[in-house]
Structure 1
Amino acid sequence: MSRVIWKGAISFGLVNIPVVLKPASRTHTLDLDMLDKRDMAPIGYQRINKHTGKPVESDDIVKGYAYEKDEYVVLSDEDFKQANVEATQTVDIVSFVDAASIPPYYFETPYYLEPDKRGERGYALLHETMRRTGRAALAMVVLRNRQHLAALLVSGKALVLNTMRFADEVLPIEDLALPKGGKQGASAREVDMAEKLVEDMTEDWAPEQYRDTYRDDLMAVIDAKIKSGNTHLLTPASEDTAPATKGAKVIDMMALLRDSLGKRGKPGKRAAEKGSEEATAAEEAPAKVSAKVSAKGSAKGPAKGAARKSAPSKAPAKKTVATKKPAARKAAAKQATAKQAAARKPTAKNAAAKKAPARKAA
């Protein structure tokens, strides 16, 4: 059961609602001790008296305000309380605002508010009123000797008090170098594709499915060291831990979004989205699409198949010529020469045709 941090009341106009404050968060950080690597001895932290150099017990430590150099006013716990008794005992609601209008960077630490004795009815009244109106209550509260701005929010059946930063503690957003549109801004097509990705990744709020996986991995390393007996072994730094730096390059945002949709979407949904993307591309650049189709068709057409079929028939012919003997080659060459000479030599019929005109003229 969580411990009670603070007891008091919510001041709601003239209504006082007794409540107790309990923590709404916890940490799972590993409890690591500082060691002397020479002998693995723990290194302790001590509060040292700066004049004597000797350690001081916690019971002998008090809080003091330096109004001049080396001159202090000592303040006890009762002094902090008596400074403003009402402020230290009440969550004083000063106004109500739209809960959605509070920027998230104002929030600090959440706490649960639980009704104390005789506070159930007032607690239920405030809770139901805030739930119906969708409002958050802004309040002032003193916790651990410091006054906080706080927001009371409805969460299920409970009221949550979230301490906030004051306006002068928040750095202005105007100091940031943010995109101003134009070349730095996103195009309409990129936004449409990003919306599809957001819809594809949208799911019900289930915080239990998320966990600190780095802590699990670190515990696995610790367990492996314990099992191997290397409880005092220091692991040297790896040379590959620092990522290699790369120069700036142009990012194809549309390609990244398409790849993301392809990996995240359901099979049927991916197919439908892919079809709509191809249809859009065809409308915008029909010439490119037809060129791709024709090139694809010619690459897979009959001509390519015919070339593949004719290739084996040429190989045996080359092999046959290569296996002919020198004598056969000479005979073939001699026969070809004889045929050429016969073609050049005039036949008897041609010679007679040439002589006939000469006889007639005589």
Structure 2
Amino acid sequence: MATRVLWKGAISFGLVHIPVGLHTATSQQGIDFDWLDKRTMDPVGYKRVNKRTGKEITSDNIVKGVQTGDGEYVVVSKEEIEAAFPKTTQTIEIERFVAASDIPFSYLERPYYLAPINKGAKVYALLRETLHESGKVGLATVVIQTKQHLAALMPCGPALVLNLLRWGDEVKPVDALDLPKTGSQKISAAERKMATQLVDEMSGKWNPDDFKDEFREQVMALVEHKRDAGDTETVLQPEESPPESAEVIDLTALLQRSLGAKGGTKTAGKSQPATKIPAAKVAATKPKAPAKSAPKQAGKSVAKKGSDSAAPKRKAA
């Protein structure tokens, strides 16, 4: 499976530059559960809501703030945030080499593959073999998508892997945990021998294919079984409503012009073209209909007008 190239740049240490491409090394294989309204099988979405008033607000009225105290925020503008972005250099700057065993596993976060480009294969192979033989990894800084990361450049089979690391203040110390100190517990020679024997008996080679996400497999098997049995729901995707005009509209004048154009001559209608009114504003001017003639829910009315196959329905297994 081909991997996506995020950017093309170079590994840099000393005076050496190795041209490389940065590739994604992982993919998400989880189950994507969509939210549906169980009454109508309509998709459920999110809204930006003012938590105090409960009213929906538009994105142009949203700013970003950092809490600095109880109820106190400092608002930071988009321009101020962009000015703080690290300079994108497309370069993996190696600052030092350390023993691979010196980096705790808790610091490893996300791996990326590096592949040589532009005739960089020889020096790429040289660095890979040198790291293999020395047992070292390169500590580097890199900017990916406007964010600066600490990373470890390490050999992994035929590839060089850039594994993003957590910063020092992102990993919690173990001091607060109640852990037994080395040598504080009385462990007999027999207990140590049996534990070692058990570990030896359970030892094997690392093969990731030996381990499966059983939850995902069971859920997907259930989904396929229900689909094959015809136990599915038809979900109607809502039509995108046209954006409302930002200009202030004199609704009374527009209605009068519309009535005049309708009752006048054909020429008069052409001289005063009607202005399109957003649906939400027209609906606000209509009188309420009697309770008996109240329209049904939107989802049901659409289902009646459409074909039988378009209506939300549930098939029996």
- Per the alignment, do residues 79 and 9 of structure 1 end up closer, same or farther by CA in structure 2, a change over 3 Å counting? farther
Q: Please report the TM-score for the alignment, with normalisation by the length of structure 2.
A: 0.62
Specify which of 68, 84, 87 is matched with residue 84 of structure 1. 87
User: Is residue 36 of structure 2 the alignment partner of residue 32 of structure 1?
Assistant: no
Match of residue 152 from structure 1: 153
Deviation (angstroms), 1:137: 0.5
Counterpart-to-counterpart distance in 2, 1:226 and 1:65 = 46
Q: Which amino acid aligns with 1:92?
A: E
C-alpha spacing 1:99/1:36, structure 2 compared with 1 (3 Å): same
Q: 1:18 to 1:183 in 2, by over 3 A?
A: closer
Structure 1 residues 207-216 or 102-111, which shifts more? 207-216
Task: Please tell me whether the aligned partners of residues 150 and 165 of structure 2 are also in contact (alpha carbons under 8 angstroms).
Answer: yes
1:53 matched to 2:56? yes
Query: Which residue is equivalent to 1:329?
Result: none
Q: Secondary structure at the match of 1:141?
A: strand
Looking at structure 1, the residues matched to 126 and 62 of structure 2 have their Cα atoms a distance apart, in angstroms, of 43
Aligned to 1:278: none
* 2:208 paired with 1:207: yes
Q: Which amino acid in 2 is paired with 1:32? A: F
Q: 1:95 to 1:63 in 2, by over 3 A?
A: farther
> What pairs with 1:16-31 in structure 2 (closer than 5 Å)?
16-31=17-32
Q: 1:4 to 1:46 in 2, by over 3 A?
A: farther
User: Rg: which structure is higher?
Assistant: 1
The 8 Å contact of residues 47 and 56 in structure 2, kept in 1 or not, is answered as: no
Q: Which amino acid aligns with 1:121?
A: K
The within-5 A match list for 1:84-103 is: 84-85=87-88, 88-103=89-104
The CA distance in 1 between the partners of 2:203 and 2:181, in whole Å, is 28
Give the secondary structure class of the aligned counterpart of 2:97: strand
1:195 aligns with 2:199: no
Superposed displacement of residue 179, structure 1: 2.8
The structure with the greater share of residues assigned to helix is 1
Assess if the C-alpha contact under 8 Å between 2:63 and 2:76 holds in 1.
Answer: no
- % identity of equivalent residues: 45
Flag structure 1 segments of 5+ consecutive residues without an equivalent: 233-362
Q: Give the corresponding residue for 1:141.
A: 142
Query: 2:164 — aligned with what?
Result: 163
Secondary structure of 1:28's counterpart equals coil
Q: Is the 8 A contact 1:138 1:150 kept in 2?
A: yes
Contact 1:64 1:72 in 2 (8 A): yes
User: May I ask how many residue pairs the two structures share in their alignment?
Assistant: 226
The CA RMSD over aligned residues, in Å, is: 3.2
Q: How does 1:256-295 map to 2 (within 5 A)?
A: none
Q: 1:71 to 1:220 in 2, by over 3 A?
A: closer
Task: Answer yes or no: is the 8 Å Cα contact 2:25–2:113 preserved in 1.
Answer: yes
Equivalent runs, 1:53-72 vs 2, <5 Å: 53-56=56-59, 72=76
Q: How much has 1:78 moved relative to structure 2?
A: 7.5
SS at match of 2:131: helix
In the aligned structure 2, how far is the partner of 1:156 from the partner of 1:72?
45
TM-score (norm 1): 0.55
CA distance, structure 2, for counterparts of residue 136 and residue 73 of structure 1: 39
- Structure 1 equivalent of residue 6 of structure 2: 5
Shift of 1:209: 2.1
1:107-155 CA-to-partner distances (Å, cap 9, x unmatched) read 0000001112132222122112212211110011111222111000011
Q: Secondary structure at the match of 1:174?
A: coil
2: CA distance, partners of 1:147 / 1:227: 48
